[in-house]
């Protein structure tokens, strides 16, 4: 009997064309063979709107005619030694020789299997190492009842919290990259922005802030009644003033207003949003990955839409609050890749704030520069 399931599709784009699709099952088969979410990364060194040169990194497929036994309870020890990381896997019972062991390492994936007595047993199989390695320099050996694997990092400066990229490792490790820079969530849905902001804040140890809650506390009325009484433009201007006061905040995740009433949807009100890393949580009408890519490409080219200023775009093929953490994980994964592509970004954000959030992002002008004299930033003078 086949079981049916539905899923929420999720992908993201950043300005240096990094895309991650994520399939989140809404329901699981009641039978022992389960299918879990997987992430596939796309990288490109080409300009951000060139989608023809993506390199797909697929999960490892180990081919064998022998039956395979897999366990969900992988026991391992992990340590970070600066230029390399060390992984120790328990071999289990029985006499195991080096000829029984198969280690398949690629830039972002690792598969470790033991072939013994006609059975292939998986010790580890992940397509999402925390960061890239140099597979040709992988070394492994047997130490009593453990298999020791040494993996050489491509980026020796990055500290690995764990061997795999997960919610736990991302939330623990990305703080070294963010360096206190705040995160702004923009998009069509205020509810989605707020839920993901709370998830991120808990994981990062940041302060969760909602411009809707701050505005309602100030006006002493609901957002709906404010819009009805004064209109969306008045609310957007008020939110822009809130964003100005928040622009100097560090270690905060700020959920902005969605829809027409939000400042982020207006291209001329982004001066203060640029003070932090901006993430567009975008509900997608796409039914497949390629369509989602094309949709994101069109979105980012639409200079008249304020959200197109965002540094990261996360495409959601549906919304279920139960999967807020999965969306938050994709946001952190995107931000990690964004910052690793340009490690000076947090420092530039700090400089931008110190100079007064003048709207000259990302090409920051010298001190004393007057934004009112520049046609390039006149649209962001609010």
CB 274 within 8 A of CB 355: no
- SS3 call for 133: strand
Signed CA dihedral, 306, 308, 314, 319: sign only: positive
Average pLDDT taken over every residue of the chain: 81
pLDDT for the residue numbered 29: 27
> Lowest-pLDDT range, 35-39, 96-100, 155-159, 318-322?
35-39
pLDDT for the residue numbered 159: 96
CATH topology of domain 74-151: Immunoglobulin-like (2.60.40)
According to DSSP, residue 153 is labeled B
Domain 157-353 has CATH 3.90.1150.10: no
Q: What is the mean pLDDT of residues 271-288?
A: 90
Place of tokens 């950043």: 14
Q: What is the mean pLDDT of residues 169-190?
A: 97
Q: What is the mean pLDDT of residues 59-85?
A: 59
Sheet holding 101-105, edge to edge: 68-70, 119-126, 110-116, 101-105
- Same fold yes or no, 74-151 and 157-353: no
Domain edges within the chain: 74-151, 157-353
User: Could you tell me the two tokens for 285?
Assistant: 């009408």
User: Could you tell me the two tokens for 142?
Assistant: 């047997």
Among 114, 112, 116, 122, CA closest to 149: 112
The answer on pLDDT for 303 being more than 70 is no
The answer on pLDDT for 116 being more than 90 is no
The answer on pLDDT for 317 being more than 60 is yes
The whole-angstrom separation of Cα 341 and Cα 164 is: 20
CB 133 within 8 A of CB 142: no
Read off the pTM.
0.79
The whole-angstrom separation of Cα 32 and Cα 198 is: 34
pLDDT for the residue numbered 71: 38
pLDDT tens-place string over residues 31-61 = 222 222 222 222 222 222 222 222 222 222 2
pLDDT for the residue numbered 382: 54
| Kind and range of the H or E run holding 328 | helix 324-341
The whole-angstrom separation of Cα 31 and Cα 9 is: 23
Pairing outcome for strands 110-116 and 119-126: antiparallel
């Amino acid at each position: 009997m086949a079981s049916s399931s539905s899923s929420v599709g999720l992908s993201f784009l950043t300005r240096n064309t990094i895309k991650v699709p994520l399939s989140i099952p809404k329901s699981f088969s009641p039978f022992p063979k389960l299918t879990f979410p997987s992430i596939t990364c796309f990288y490109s060194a080409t300009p951000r709107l060139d989608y023809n040169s993506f390199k797909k990194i697929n999960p490892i497929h180990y081919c064998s005619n022998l039956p395979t036994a897999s366990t969900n309870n992988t026991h391992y020890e992990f340590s970070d030694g600066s230029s390399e990381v060390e992984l120790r896997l328990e071999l289990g019972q029985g006499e195991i020789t080096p000829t029984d062991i198969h280690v398949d390492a690629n830039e972002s994936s690792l598969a470790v299997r033991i072939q013994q007595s006609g059975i292939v047993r998986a010790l580890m199989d992940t397509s999402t190492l925390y960061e890239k390695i140099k597979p040709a320099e992988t070394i492994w050996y047997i130490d009593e009842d453990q298999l020791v694997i040494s993996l050489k990092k491509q980026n020796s400066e990055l500290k690995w919290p764990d061997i795999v990229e997960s919610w736990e490792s991302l939330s623990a490790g990305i703080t070294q990259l963010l360096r206190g820079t705040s995160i702004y969530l923009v998009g069509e849905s205020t509810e989605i922005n707020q839920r993901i902001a709370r998830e991120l804040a808990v994981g990062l140890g940041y302060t969760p802030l909602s411009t809707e809650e701050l505005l309602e506390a100030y006006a002493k009325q609901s957002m709906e009644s404010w819009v009805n009484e004064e209109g969306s433009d008045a609310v957007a201007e008020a939110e822009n003033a809130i964003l100005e006061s928040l622009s100097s905040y560090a270690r905060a995740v700020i959920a902005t207003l969605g829809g027409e009433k939000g400042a982020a949807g207006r291209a001329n009100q982004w001066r203060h949003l640029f003070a932090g890393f901006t993430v567009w949580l975008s509900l997608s009408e796409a039914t497949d990955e390629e369509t989602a890519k094309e949709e994101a490409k069109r979105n980012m080219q639409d200079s008249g839409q304020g959200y197109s200023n965002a540094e990261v775009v996360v495409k959601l093929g549906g919304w279920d609050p139960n999967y807020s953490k999965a969306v938050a994980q994709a946001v952190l994964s995107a931000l990690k890749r964004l910052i690793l592509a340009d490690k000076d970004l947090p420092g530039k954000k700090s400089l931008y704030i110190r100079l007064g959030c003048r709207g000259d992002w990302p090409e920051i002008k010298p001190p004393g520069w007057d934004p009112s004299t520049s046609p390039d930033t006149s649209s962001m003078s609010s």
